[in-house]
Structure 1
Amino acid sequence: MNFSFFKRKKAITLHTIAFYNVENLFDPLENEGTLDADFTPKGVKRWTTHRYKRKLQQLAATISEIGLSASGCPPDLVGVAEVENKLVLQELLATGPLKKVPYDFVHYDSADERGIDTALLYNKEIFKVVSSQAIPLVLDGSNGLPESTRDILYVSGKLKGEPMHLFVNHWPSKRDGTLATEYKRIIAANTITGFMRGIQKEYPNANYVVMGDFNDDPSSLSIQTLKRSHSLYNPIEKLQTPTRGSVNYQKSWCLFDQILLSPNFLTDTKGTLTLAGADIFDEGHLKESKGKYKGSPFRTYVGSRYLGGISDHFPVYIQLELK
Structure 2
Amino acid sequence: MRLASYNVENLFDRAKAMNQSDWAEGKPILEKFAALNALLGELTYTAEIKKKMVVLMNDLGLRKSDTGPFVILRRNRGKLLTRPQDGGEISITAEGRADWVGSLELRSAPVDETAMLLTAQVMIDLRADILAVVEAESRPALQAFNSEILPARKGTPFEHVMVIDGNDERGIDVGLMTANAFPIDTIRSHVDDKDRAGAPIFSRDCPEFAIPLSNGETLLVLVNHLKSKGYGSKGSSDARRKAQAERVKAIYQQRVKEGETFIAIMGDFNDTPDSQTLAPLLKETDLRDIFTHEKFDNGGYPGTWGSCTASNKIDYILLSPALWEKVKQGGVYRKGMWPGVRPAKWETYAELKKPVNAGSDHAAVWVELDI
State the TM-score bracket (shorter-chain normalisation): 0.7 to 0.9
> How do 1:1-323 residues align onto structure 2 when only pairs under 5 Å count?
15-27=1-13, 35-37=105-107, 39-40=108-109, 47=110, 51=112, 53-66=113-126, 74-94=127-147, 95-97=149-151, 100-125=156-181, 127-136=182-191, 138=194, 149-161=203-215, 162-175=217-230, 176-203=232-259, 205-237=260-292, 243-248=301-306, 253-267=311-325, 274-283=326-335, 286-288=337-339, 290=341, 294-295=344-345, 307-322=356-371
Figure out how many residues of one structure are paired with residues of the other and give that number. Answer: 273
Shift of 1:59: 1.5
2: CA distance, partners of 1:189 / 1:145: 16
Query: Alpha carbons of 1:133 and 1:179: their partners in 2 closer, same or farther (altered >3 Å)?
Result: same
Q: Mind listing any 5+ residue stretches in structure 1 that lack a counterpart?
A: 1-14, 41-46, 67-73, 268-273, 299-304
Residue 6 of structure 2 aligns to which amino acid in structure 1?
Y
The alignment's C-alpha RMSD in Å is 3.4
Query: Alpha carbons of 1:35 and 1:314: their partners in 2 closer, same or farther (altered >3 Å)?
Result: farther
Shift of 1:190: 1.5
Query: Alpha carbons of 1:145 and 1:210: their partners in 2 closer, same or farther (altered >3 Å)?
Result: closer
Q: Mind listing any 5+ residue stretches in structure 2 that lack a counterpart?
A: 16-70, 75-102, 349-353
User: For residues 228-274 of structure 1, what are the alpha-carbon distances to aligned partners after superposition, in whole Å with 9 as ceiling and x for unaligned?
Assistant: 4441111224667994411126977511001000001233xxxxxx1
Shift of 1:103: 2.5
Residue 35 of structure 1 aligns to which amino acid in structure 2?
E
Query: Alpha carbons of 1:138 and 1:312: their partners in 2 closer, same or farther (altered >3 Å)?
Result: farther
Shift of 1:295: 3.2
Secondary structure at the aligned position of 1:88 is classed as helix
User: For residues 40-95 of structure 1, what are the alpha-carbon distances to aligned partners after superposition, in whole Å with 9 as ceiling and x for unaligned?
Assistant: 3xxxxxx27xx3x54432212111111xxxxxxx2001101111112220122112
2: CA distance, partners of 1:55 / 1:135: 31
1: CA distance, partners of 2:183 / 2:366: 20
1: CA distance, partners of 2:194 / 2:268: 18
If you compute each CA radius of gyration, which structure gives the higher value, 1 or 2?
Answer: 2
User: For residues 184-224 of structure 1, what are the alpha-carbon distances to aligned partners after superposition, in whole Å with 9 as ceiling and x for unaligned?
Assistant: 11111111122233323431x52110011000111222333
8 Å Cα contact 1:237/1:258 also seen in 2: no
Query: Alpha carbons of 1:250 and 1:154: their partners in 2 closer, same or farther (altered >3 Å)?
Result: closer
TM-score by length of 2: 0.64
